[in-house]
């Protein structure tokens, strides 16, 4: 742990549970398209880009559409999603996150965001979390989706640290793969059964401080 200089956080599913709002908005769209989209299907969308998520839903419904129609549908889903997350407040930050962020800062470790979401800025603003971050890399700044390591490597570069000096916190297998592909340590937030390749898996940040992390 002595060589660790930065921590990079995924957003959805790690700092805040926005997955439920993604689900509500995709479910609404699926209903309009007469596709039966379940909460189990929603697991496949975690950490995946907006367009790839739509592709998965269309695949479930066995529907093929042209790019213009797909763009329209993705925009429609996003408008609903933005409406849902407009109600987010700091009370929606997941338990233990603030204490953990403060313990990182107290150790002189830098903090970055590495999220696929193009709505990251809006979410961080609503949660009043922006000031904790020394670098924010999100879906508006990357061209390659996780498991490509681009989002995390850009974070390391912006913080001026080496990938091997970074720990990534992720809730999606694609994100764990991205961290490992980038030569970083990966800590999963969630279940060991799903996040099999992570160096460590924690159920969440309750009672976790940087000083007590054992890797
Ligand atoms: P948006 P993360 C990801 O965020 C979500 O997990 C994923 O479900 C979503 O489709 C993706 O962001 C794109 O989000 O439509 O807001 O651009 O987990 O990488 O923080
Ligand atoms: Mg996530």
Q: Which of 20, 33, 120, 109 is nearest to 74 (CA)?
A: 33
Distance of CA 60 to the CA centre of its chain: 23
Active-site residue flag, 12: yes
What per-residue confidence (pLDDT) applies to 44? Answer: 87
**What are the phi and psi torsion angles at 96 (to 5°)?**
85, -10
Q: Tell me how far the alpha carbon of residue 187 lies from the centroid of ligand 2, in angstroms.
A: 12
69 in Cβ contact with 54 (< 8 Å): no
Q: Which of 12, 138, 171, 177 is catalytic?
A: 12
* Ligand showing the shortest atom-to-Cα distance for residue 84: 1
Specify whether 171 is catalytic.
no
Residue 114, classed as helix, strand or coil, is strand
Q: Are 120 and 138 in contact (CB under 8 A)?
A: yes
Non-local CB neighbours of 36 within 8 Å, separated by 6+ positions: 30, 60, 61
Beta-carbon-side half-sphere exposure of residue 161 (alpha carbons within 13 Å): 24
Q: Which-ligand-closest: CA of 48?
A: 1
Tell which one of 12, 79, 126 to mutate to probe ligand 1, the residue whose CB is within 8 A of the most ligand atoms: 12
Name, in order, each residue with C-beta under 8 angstroms of 126's C-beta and a sequence gap of 6 or more: 85, 86, 88, 89, 92
Which atom of ligand 1 lies at the shortest distance from residue 45's CA? 8
2, 10, 67, 193: the active-site residue? 10
- Is residue 117 within 8 A of residue 139, CB to CB? The reply is yes
- H or E element in which residue 12 lies: none
pLDDT at 2: 82
User: Is the backbone of residue 128 left (phi > 0), alpha (psi -120 to 50) or beta?
Assistant: left
Q: Enumerate residues 6+ apart whose C-beta is below 8 A from 32.
A: none
CA distance 179 to 152: 7
Walk along the chain (215 residues) in steps of 10 and give the mean pLDDT of each run: 94 95 97 95 89 97 98 98 97 98 98 97 98 97 95 98 98 95 98 94 97 90
**Which ligand is located closest to the Cα atom of residue 18?**
1
* pLDDT for 118: 96
| Span from the CA of 76 to the centroid of ligand 1 (angstroms) | 15
pLDDT in tens, 131-166: 999 999 999 999 999 999 999 999 999 999 999 999
CA atoms of 135 and 157, how far apart (whole Å): 10
pLDDT of amino acid 61? 98
DSSP alpha helices (H): ranges in the chain? 19-32, 39-42, 50-60, 67-85, 97-106, 120-127, 150-159, 173-181
Q: What angle do CA 78, 79, 84 make, to 5 degrees?
A: 90
Tell me, in angstroms, the distance from the centre of ligand 2 to residue 49's CA.
11
Q: Which residues line ligand 1 (CB under 6 A)?
A: 10-13, 22, 45-50, 53, 78, 115-119, 139, 172
Output the pTM of the full model.
Answer: 0.93
DSSP at 116: S
Per-residue pLDDT of 169-192, as tens digits, reads 999 999 999 999 999 999 999 999
Compute, in angstroms, the gap from residue 143 CA to the centroid of ligand 1.
14
Q: Which residues pair with 125 in a beta bridge?
A: none
């Amino acid at each position: 742990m002595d060589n660790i200089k930065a921590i990079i956080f995924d957003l959805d599913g790690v700092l805040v549970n926005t997955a439920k709002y993604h689900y509500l908005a995709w479910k609404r769209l699926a209903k309009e398209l007469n596709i039966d989209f379940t909460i189990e299907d929603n697991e496949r969308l975690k950490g995946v880009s907006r367009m790839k998520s739509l592709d998965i839903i269309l695949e479930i419904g066995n529907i093929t559409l042209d790019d213009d129609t797909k763009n329209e549908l993705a925009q429609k889903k996003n408008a609903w999603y933005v409406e849902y997350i407009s109600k987010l407040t700091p009370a929606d930050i997941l338990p233990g996150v603030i204490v953990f962020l403060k313990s990182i800062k107290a150790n002189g470790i830098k903090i970055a965001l590495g999220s696929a979401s193009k709505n990251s800025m809006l979410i961080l603003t609503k949660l009043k979390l922006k000031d904790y971050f020394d670098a924010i890399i999100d879906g508006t700044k990357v061209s390659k989706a996780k498991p490509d390591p681009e989002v995390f490597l850009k974070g390391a570069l912006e913080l001026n640290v080496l990938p091997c000096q970074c720990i990534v916190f992720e809730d999606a297998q694609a994100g764990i793969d991205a961290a490992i592909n980038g030569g970083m340590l990966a800590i999963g937030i969630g279940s060991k059964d799903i996040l099999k390749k992570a160096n460590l898996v924690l159920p969440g940040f309750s009672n976790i401080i940087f000083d007590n992390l054992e890797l």
